[in-house]
Chain A
Amino acid sequence: QKEVEQNSGPLSVPEGAIASLNCTYSDRGSQSFFWYRQYSGKSPELIMFIYSNGDKEDGRFTAQLNKASQYVSLLIRDSQPSDSATYLCAVNGRNFNKFYFGSGTKLNVKP
């Protein structure tokens, strides 16, 4: 079983819609959870992190964490074509300095 699972997509949404990206993880001892965005041919960049159950909002982005269900999600409101990228979920495990990545979900926002 992989540490972090994501649907590979592609997920296609029209411009202005809400994009919902999901991630599950296997280690109940995981402490912190991250969403990275990776444009084609570029390196990943952090867009949000969360470590408490519930929601965390930052502009058009909301991260949601449910530790009981071992589930973390990212909502992107008012999606823009510039949001088209691959979104990587990452988790750090019991060793706080090690990060495990999902395979990423490719998001296409259509104008």
Chain B
Amino acid sequence: DVKVTQSSRYLVKRTGEKVFLECVQDMDHENMFWYRQDPGLGLRLIYFSYDVKMKEKGDIPEGYSVSREKKERFSLILESASTNQTSMYLCASNLQGAQFNTGELFFGEGSRLTVL
């Protein structure tokens, strides 16, 4: 079974703190993604990476950065956490797609971040 593991299920941080969210996948997937999920807004793509050290901005990259030093690991960094970054963060991975990508994103369990 594909496994995507997020390092922390629940975090509580203070405004201005630096936050690291880590994600590891064990299926040698090229693509890795960070989404945030908020009620009524669905999943919104923050960043994705299609190879080691390669990244592309999603729809809401402001306030976030990412790091992919190894194929299996994709980290999301909040340089200075703010209250509007309180959310559920979901990491996902999949194989690099051809035109008709089967689209199965494999998700981690999620990290619920609260910024006070």
Residues of chain B at the chain A interface (Cβ within 8 Å): 31, 33, 35, 40-45, 48, 50, 56, 58, 90, 94, 96-105, 107-110
Are B43 and A44 closer than 8 Å at their CB atoms?
yes
Partner-contacting stretch, out of A14-22, A54-62, A69-77, A100-108: A100-108
Are A88 and B43 closer than 8 Å at their CB atoms?
yes
Query: In the complex, which residues 57-111 of chain A have their Cβ closer than 8 Å to any Cβ of chain B?
Result: 88, 90, 92, 96-104
* Size of the chain A interface, CB-CB below 8 angstroms: 26
Known: A44-B107, A92-B97, A92-B103. A98 touches B42 (CB 8 A): no
Known: A34-B103, A44-B105, A46-B104. A98 touches B48 (CB 8 A): yes
Q: Which 5 A-B pairs have the closest CB atoms?
A: A103-B42, A43-B107, A101-B43, A96-B97, A34-B103
Report the Cα distance A99→B103, complex, angstroms: 8
A66 nearest CB across to chain B (Å): 17
